[in-house]
Amino acid sequence: MKLIVKFFSRVPGNFDSSLTFDNSFNLRRTIVPMNAKTDFPTLINNPKTLFWTLKKSRPVSVPECYLAKTFILNENNFDFGPLLIGKNQ
């Protein structure tokens, strides 16, 4: 027999409990141990797995210092590139 139990928790952790079932044919009780583990989704903290282009530091000279689509490790920042403000199409 398949039994589906839905569980919800507002805090992450491990939970142990048991379900007790009574049988109407005899006076026997059935105890089913239950355990659940909950956790919240997280993002990967390693920038090398998230971003395609990495630089250890921003170059000093112009125009190399204008980066686009690059994660700068010492700044811990993603540079999207120059913004086009007031561009008319």
Query: What's the Cα-to-Cα distance from 11 to each of 3, 14, 42, 50, rounded to whole Å?
Result: 24, 10, 14, 27
Q: What pLDDT digit, counting tens, does each position of 37-76 carry?
A: 999 888 888 888 888 899 999 888 888 888 888 999 999 8
Instruction: Please give the model's pTM, rounded to 2 decimal places.
Output: 0.48
Element (H, E) at 38: strand 29-38
Of the segments 31-35, 46-50, 83-87, which one has the largest average pLDDT value? 31-35
- Read off the tokens for 55: 């630089």
